């Protein structure tokens, strides 16, 4: 497994380096509110966009996981409460003490 990770990392680095070499030309970057433009290599624009997308995706995933963990905890609490109630009813049935029922 370690060797596979090293090979994949090496392949990823190779792809990044060759991509950078083939796309080393500068591009002019402008944004709505900014005055003027600045020149940066094309590969930086692409790589920064990829990493920004990965970061945003990770943040969305973390928020979803937090919500799911909270829902799981709430369901676990409900389940624990219901199990306590089942034990209580079972104990009352075994001891024969039905508080709410009267014999007629």
Structural domain includes residue 102: no
pTM of this prediction? 0.60
pLDDT tens, position by position, 54-87: 999 999 999 999 999 999 999 999 999 999 999 9
Residue 70 has which token pair? 């909270």
In this structure, the number of other CB atoms found within 10 A of the CB of residue 72 comes to 10
Confidence of residue 99 (pLDDT cuts 50, 70, 90): low
Task: Report how many domains make up the chain.
Answer: 1
Q: Are 26 and 44 in contact (CB under 8 A)?
A: no
Structural domain includes residue 103: no
Structural domain includes residue 23: yes
Structural domain includes residue 101: no
């Amino acid at each position: 497994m370690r060797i596979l990770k090293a090979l994949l990392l090496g392949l990823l680095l190779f792809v990044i380096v060759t991509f950078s070499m083939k796309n080393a030309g500068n591009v002019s970057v402008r944004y709505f509110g900014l005055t003027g433009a600045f020149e940066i290599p094309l590969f930086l624009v692409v790589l920064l966009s990829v990493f920004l997308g990965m970061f945003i995706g990770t943040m969305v995933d973390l928020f979803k996981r937090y919500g799911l963990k909270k829902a799981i905890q709430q369901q676990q609490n409900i389940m624990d409460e219901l199990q306590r109630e089942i034990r209580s009813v079972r104990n009352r049935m075994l001891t024969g003490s039905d508080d709410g029922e009267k014999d007629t």
